[in-house]
Structures are given as C-alpha cells and as structure tokens.
C-alpha cells in the first residue's frame, strides 16, 4: 500500500471491503491506573501493525463509544487521532448503544464502498467497569432505552430483557436450563481467550444456583460491563497490499430498528429488528439458506436468553427451537454452527463501543485460520456472521464476512 492512497478516489460500489488487520485491548475491569486512551492506542496500533500498513495509510477514522458519561471525553475522535499521530485525518464518532462498534464498522464499510476513503480505521472503546460504580453505570445504561417513560421509571437492562424473555418462555416453553446452557458454553469458550474478561468452567447447576437478579435471569445468565477497546482496518480490495495469506472481507452490512419501548412492540419476545437486518444482510450477501451456509457466528448475548432470541431472529433456528438446540450442543464449539467461540459478551465481555469491532476481529481470525488454533475446531470456515444490537435489540446490525483466498 502506498502513501498516496488518501488522495485517490474509488468509485467501485461493488467492492467488498477487505479486513487488513485488527487489534483488541482485552476486556477487563482495569484498576491499574491505565486510561481508556491507553487502551484505544494499543488496540489501534495493534490493528495497524496486524494490517501491515503505516499509520499514514489511514484515510479515515471512525470512532465508537456509547457514552461520554463513562469516558468523560466529549468528541473523543480528535484526541484519539492525536494519540495515534493522525491529526488531520477525517474522523467521525458514531453511537448506537451496545451496537456502537458495529455502527462504526458499518460506517467504515460504507465509506469504502462510497469511495470516500480507501483505508479506514474503525476503533471502539468504553470505560464502563473500572472507574465507575456499578449503580452509576446502571443508571447511565438505563438511559439507552426510552429514557423518559421507561429508563426514568426504573427500567434496567436486566429487567427489560427479563420481561422479554419471560414471554419467550411462555410462548415457546424455553427453559431455564436451556438458557443456562448458553452461559456454560460462553463462559467455557472464553477459557484460553486472551481477550476474555470472564472465562469460567461452570455447569448448568452452577448457573441455576447463582443469585436471581431478575427472573428468569440468574447472575451467571448475565454479561457484565467491561472496559476495553477494539480496532479494525478495512480497505478497498484494489488497494489492499498483496498477500499470500487468507483474508476476510465484509460482503454485507445491514441495519434495522425496532420500537424503543418494549411495550410498543407487537411481539415482545421477538427481536424483529435483528430479523429485518439479517434478511437484508443475507440478501446482500446472496445467502439463501443461512442455517447451512453460515459456518460460524458471533451473536450479541447481553443475557443468555438474548442469544436464544437472537439465533432465532437471525434465522439460524426456527422460532422456539434455539433453546432445545442449544441444550443439545448444536451451537457448541464442535456443534453444527458454533456461536460465540470467543465467549460472547457473557464470557469475553462487553465494552459497548468495542463489542461489534471485537466480534468482527474474531470472525476475521476464524475465517483466516488464525483464531486460537489450540481450541478452534479444525474446519474450513468460509462464511461468518457478526450480530450486534443496542438497547433491547432496538438498533440492530448484521454483518456477513467471507473468507478470501490469496
């Protein structure tokens, strides 16, 4: 890649952006004196190094973070650029709740496809765990629903997800054991993952014995707030450095929204926005049979039941069938369709601005055969799905990634 790429113009809207590299500052609760700018810098520089480019090759930066109440930095993009020595590069900050990172990914994809830039750095972060009290984080996050009518009334994430899932359980007879199987799988998948916040070797009995937070959710059904950052470098295929290695590219980016208030939805147990985004993404990617065509997926699992709801909304299981399939191991590491090999939000962690980008980084490494070779089943993964949402699946993003041979 040459240094002149910033000033060139791309007009090929058919091109699918190629992933050049990614970096992740591990999800954790940092109380070591480090600042989120340190995490972002590390993730971004790791991504640039992984991409095999120079910082000067970056033609645009897209920054994601959920809330300035956590970072204490309004307009974070310029300070991030300063920390990377990239002042002067066009930059925007995007926000879509827990899907902020996925929103940044989508903006980066669109910038490349529109010809606005040939090489884009998308970087997401949040400081949600280490330097704020849990009750303050809970208050801030409750404002990510309809703050006026629901958040101010006391609606927390776990309460709203619990209300939604309780209806799923009533309608589809989904069981607490099936939900616990998600927790066991995702905590277990996180074992050995250097990016993971909460790897655990647990059983279904452990999940069911953990304290009840908001029925039907026990403590171990819930993801946790994490600190962290993630970055990814995308480029137009024509400008990607030549390589003899496998790469991945993003062949679909779709988004949809649902009613912000759970009570305004006709089917409160169903993630309609996710279904809409998935259908659009599959159409864009030419996927007609996702159950058999998708090889691996990272699915947004803020809570165990949300993964079950998500798998069904994505069309990876029939309505009401994801729970039994989960219990039978269909989505396990060695199952028919591995879901959340990273551990997902439950096992890997959830810094909202970073999640969607870290999911894409995981899928990129899986598709290119670089992901945790000690634990990832040996299989030719060719098509991967990245699913991220904000709110109670109020804002949904689905990306489809494909393996690219040299």
Partner 1 sequence: MTSRTEAPTSELRLELTYDHATGRLKPYFDGLLAGQAIASHCPACGKTWFPPQAQCPDDQTETGWNRISGSGAVLAVTTTVTKLPFTTAAETYSFVLVAMDEAENAVFGRMQSPVENIAVGTRVELAAPVDEAGHPAQAAQFIVKGD
Is residue 215 within the footprint of partner 1 (CB under 8 A)?
yes
Is residue 195 within the footprint of partner 1 (CB under 8 A)?
no
Report the nearest approach of partner 1 to the CB of residue 39 (Å).
11
Among 31, 173, 283, 292, binds partner 1 (CB under 8 A): 31
* Residues ≥6 apart with Cβ < 8 Å to 263: none
Tell me the C-alpha distance between 247 and 21, whole Å.
Answer: 9
Cα–Cα–Cα angle for 149, 302, 356, rounded to 5 degrees: 105
* Residues ≥6 apart with Cβ < 8 Å to 301: 182, 186, 223, 307, 310, 340, 344, 345, 346
Is residue 280 within the footprint of partner 1 (CB under 8 A)?
no
CB-CB neighbours of 215 under 10 Å: 12
127 - beta bridge partners? 227
Which residue, 6 or 35, has its beta carbon nearer to partner 1? 35
Is residue 221 within the footprint of partner 1 (CB under 8 A)?
no
Among 152, 205, 209, 291, binds partner 1 (CB under 8 A): 152
Report the nearest approach of partner 1 to the CB of residue 74 (Å).
13
Q: Which part of the chain contacts partner 1 (CB under 8 A), choosing from 112-120, 158-166, 173-181, 291-299?
A: 158-166
Helix axes 157-172, 134-142, angle to 10 degrees: 70
Tell me the C-alpha distance between 90 and 86, whole Å.
Answer: 9
List the one residue out of 254, 329, 342, 334 whose CA is nearest residue 298. 342
Would you give the binding string for partner 1 spanning residues 38-77, x where CB under 8 A is met?
-------------------------------x--x-----
Among 33, 88, 194, 406, binds partner 1 (CB under 8 A): 33
Report the nearest approach of partner 1 to the CB of residue 244 (Å).
36
Which residue, 30 or 125, has its beta carbon nearer to partner 1? 30
- Give how many residues touch partner 1 by CB under 8 A: 42
C-beta separation of 189 from 202 below 8 A = no
Tell me the C-alpha distance between 37 and 242, whole Å.
Answer: 32
Which residue, 72 or 205, has its beta carbon nearer to partner 1? 72
Q: Which part of the chain contacts partner 1 (CB under 8 A), choosing from 117-125, 257-265, 333-341, 373-381?
A: 257-265
CB-CB neighbours of 192 under 10 Å: 12
Is residue 89 within the footprint of partner 1 (CB under 8 A)?
no
> CA gyration radius for the chain?
20
Task: Decide: helix, strand or coil at residue 212.
Answer: strand
C-beta separation of 29 from 197 below 8 A = yes
Report the nearest approach of partner 1 to the CB of residue 22 (Å).
21
Report the nearest approach of partner 1 to the CB of residue 361 (Å).
20
Is residue 187 within the footprint of partner 1 (CB under 8 A)?
no
Is residue 163 within the footprint of partner 1 (CB under 8 A)?
yes
Which residue, 143 or 246, has its beta carbon nearer to partner 1? 143
Structure tokens at 397: 């993003």
Tell me the C-alpha distance between 267 and 173, whole Å.
Answer: 16
> Omega into 216 within 30° of 0, i.e. cis?
yes
Is residue 175 within the footprint of partner 1 (CB under 8 A)?
no
Q: Which residues here bind partner 1, judged by CB under 8 A?
A: 28-34, 69, 72, 131, 135, 138-139, 142, 148-156, 158-160, 162-164, 166-167, 170, 213-216, 259, 261-264, 268
């Amino acid at each position: 890649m040459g240094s002149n790429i910033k000033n060139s113009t791309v007009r090929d809207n058919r091109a699918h952006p190629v992933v050049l590299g990614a970096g992740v500052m591990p999800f954790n609760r940092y109380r070591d004196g480090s600042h989120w700018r340190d995490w972002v810098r590390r993730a971004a520089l790791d991504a640039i190094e992984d991409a095999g480019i120079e910082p000067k090759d970056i033609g645009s930066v897209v920054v994601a973070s959920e809330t300035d109440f956590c970072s204490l930095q309004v307009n974070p993009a310029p300070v991030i650029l300063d920390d990377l020595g990239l002042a002067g590069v066009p930059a925007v900050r995007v926000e879509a709740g827990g899907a902020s990172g996925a929103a940044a990914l989508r903006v980066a994809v669109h910038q490349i496809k529109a010809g606005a830039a040939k090489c884009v750095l998308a970087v997401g972060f949040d400081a949600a765990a280490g330097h704020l009290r849990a009750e303050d984080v809970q208050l801030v996050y409750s404002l990510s629903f309809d703050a006026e009518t629901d958040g101010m009334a006391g609606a927390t994430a776990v309460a709203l997800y619990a209300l939604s899932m309780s209806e799923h359980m009533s309608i589809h007879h989904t069981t607490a054991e099936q939900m616990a199987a998600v927790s066991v799988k995702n905590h277990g998948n996180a074992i050995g993952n250097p990016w993971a916040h909460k790897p655990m070797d647990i059983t279904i009995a452990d999940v069911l014995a953990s304290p009840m937070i908001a029925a039907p959710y026990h403590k171990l059904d819930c993801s946790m707030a994490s600190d962290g950052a993630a970055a990814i470098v995308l480029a137009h295929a024509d400008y990607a450095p030549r390589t003899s290695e496998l790469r991945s590219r993003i062949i679909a980016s779709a988004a949809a929204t649902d009613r912000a208030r759970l009570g305004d939805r006709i089917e409160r147990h169903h993630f309609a926005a996710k279904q809409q985004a998935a259908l659009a993404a599959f159409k864009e990617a030419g996927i007609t049979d996702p159950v058999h065509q998708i090889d691996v997926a990272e699915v947004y699992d803020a809570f165990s039941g949300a993964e079950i709801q998500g798998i069904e909304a994505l069309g990876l299981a029939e309505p009401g069938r994801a729970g039994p399939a989960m219990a039978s191991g269909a989505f396990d590491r060695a199952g028919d369709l591995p879901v959340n090999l990273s551990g997902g939000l439950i096992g890997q962690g959830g810094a909202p601005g970073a999640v969607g980008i870290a999911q894409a980084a995981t899928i990129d490494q899986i598709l290119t055969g670089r992901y945790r070779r000690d634990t990832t089943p040996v299989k030719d993964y060719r098509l991967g799905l990245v699913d991220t949402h904000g709110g109670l699946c109020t804002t949904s993003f689905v990306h489809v990634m494909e393996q690219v041979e040299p």
